[in-house]
């Protein structure tokens, strides 16, 4: 019996935001990481376009998980001067296809929102898995979209006592601090990265820096670092000695860490990566990988297409319930 092909559903940003409120994104994206580390996902190398005038980048990530019904192609961009002309820096869309037929099921016009959300949820997942159980003081480098979203999602899963922000734009930083404090008075601006490190149990980096911002000597015992800004070969937020001397280093994708991220930069400096762990394997462990409260832990997150798959299919399934 022949089937009539339906036109793909077009799902706009407002609908995406409404549907996401119904979903347990933490569990979904955690499961995606686990399946990836078990070898059950087909994830080709990242495609990317890098621009200089003005500065920007476009990433193309795609893949599927075996025995799941969909595959995804995600296009997401970041153009850092956009706010100067009144546009958001993040743009993009996700395309969801039927794995059995290749039929395009949904065009998700999320304007980069799904990428921002899945990145923030992944940061929360990694931080919760690796930080000390009593860690409550957070320091965040970067005052853009991820600066806010990393705190927002982490605060849903951990009890956060304070958050210190550092950023190169003081006015933007003050706006973000006021936004956070409108819900709960926990945030303040810190103009010294060294002091931010000294006062934080958890450090999250969210900038597009190409030279490291944090020195190894600033990291005190017991600190956990989640680095999400360095997602190309050129970017770097951490002194490579931090990765090389950390007790535990985790990457969301060991394969991707060969070409991008903090682990990649540390490899160039001589890091062997022999003891590098993958996030999905850590999440699948029955016990915490951390064995001592004084251990320094690092999560290097460059973004994996399983995150895009899990969040895209959640949106599609929610709209078709």
Q: Please answer whether residues 75 and 87 qualify as being in contact, where contact means their C-beta atoms are separated by less than 8 angstroms.
A: no
**96, 197: one domain:** no
* Those residues with Cβ within 8 angstroms of residue 311's Cβ, 6 or more apart along the chain or in another chain: 20, 25, 28, 29, 94, 114, 117, 118, 121
Total number of residues shown for the chain: 321
Q: Are 169 and 115 in contact (CB under 8 A)?
A: no
Pair 92, 142 in one domain = no
Does some domain include residue 119?
no
Q: Which domain holds residue 46?
A: 9-114+306-319
Per-residue pLDDT of the chain (321 residues; tens, 9 = 90+): 677 788 999 999 999 999 998 899 999 999 999 999 999 999 999 999 999 999 999 999 999 999 999 999 999 999 988 988 999 888 999 999 999 999 999 999 999 999 999 999 999 999 999 999 999 999 999 999 999 999 999 999 999 999 999 999 999 999 999 999 998 999 999 999 999 999 999 999 999 999 999 999 999 999 999 999 999 999 999 999 999 999 999 999 999 999 999 999 999 999 999 999 999 999 999 999 999 999 999 999 999 999 999 999 999 999 987
* Domains in the chain, number: 2
Is residue 52 situated within a structural domain?
yes
- Residue 57: which CATH number? 3.30.1780.10
Q: Give the pLDDT confidence score for residue 6 in this predicted structure.
A: 85
Residues 192 and 270 in one domain: yes
Q: Do 274 and 158 fall within a single domain?
A: yes
For the entire predicted model, the pTM comes to 0.95
Please tell me whether the peptide bond between 54 and the residue prior to it is cis, using omega within 30 degrees of 0. yes
Q: Are residues 186 and 97 in the same domain?
A: no
Any idea what the CATH number is for the domain that residue 156 is in?
3.40.50.720
Both 139 and 96 in one domain: the answer is no
83 and 134 both lie in a single domain? no
Using one digit for the tens of pLDDT, what is the confidence trace for 145-198? 999 999 999 999 999 999 999 999 999 999 999 999 998 999 999 999 999 999
Q: What is the reported pLDDT for 321?
A: 78
Largest CA distance in the chain: 68
Same domain, residue pair 315 and 285? no
Indicate if 31 and 142 belong to the same structural domain.
no
What tokens appear for 203 in the block?
């450090």
Strand partners, 166: 141
Assess whether 82 and 223 both reside in one domain.
no
159 assigned to some structural domain? yes
């Amino acid at each position: 019996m022949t089937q009539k092909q339906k036109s793909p559903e077009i799902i706009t940003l407002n609908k995406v935001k409404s549907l996401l409120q119904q979903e347990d994104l933490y569990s979904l994206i955690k499961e995606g990481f686990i399946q990836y580390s078990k070898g059950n996902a087909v994830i080709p190398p990242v495609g990317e376009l890098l621009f200089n005038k003005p500065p920007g980048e476009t990433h193309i990530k795609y893949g599927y998980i075996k025995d799941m019904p969909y595959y995804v192609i995600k296009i997401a961009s970041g153009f850092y001067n956009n706010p100067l002309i009144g546009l958001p820096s993040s743009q993009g869309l996700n395309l969801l296809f039927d794995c059995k037929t290749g039929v395009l099921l949904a065009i998700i016009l999320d304007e980069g929102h799904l990428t921002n959300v899945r990145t923030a949820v992944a940061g929360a997942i990694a931080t919760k898995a690796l930080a000390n159980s009593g860690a409550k003081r957070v320091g965040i480098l970067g005052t853009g979209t991820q600066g806010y979203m990393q705190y927002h999602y982490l605060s849903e899963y951990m009890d956060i006592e304070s958050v210190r922000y550092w950023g190169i734009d003081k006015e933007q930083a003050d706006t973000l601090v006021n936004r956070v404090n409108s819900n709960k008075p926990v945030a303040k601006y810190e103009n010294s990265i060294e002091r931010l490190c000294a006062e934080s149990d958890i450090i999250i980096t969210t900038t597009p820096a190409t030279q490291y911002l944090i020195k190894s000597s600033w990291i005190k015992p017991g600190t956990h670092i989640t680095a999400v800004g360095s997602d190309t070969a050129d970017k770097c937020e951490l002194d490579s000695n931090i990765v090389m001397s950390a007790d535990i280093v985790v990457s969301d994708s060991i394969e991707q860490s060969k070409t991008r991220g903090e682990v990649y930069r540390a490899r160039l400096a001589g890091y062997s990566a022999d003891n590098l762990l993958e996030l999905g394997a850590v999440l699948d462990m029955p016990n915490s990988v951390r064995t001592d409260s004084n251990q320094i832990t690092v999560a290097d997150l460059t973004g994996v297409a399983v995150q895009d798959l899990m969040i895209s299919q959640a949106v599609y399934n929610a709209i078709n319930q």
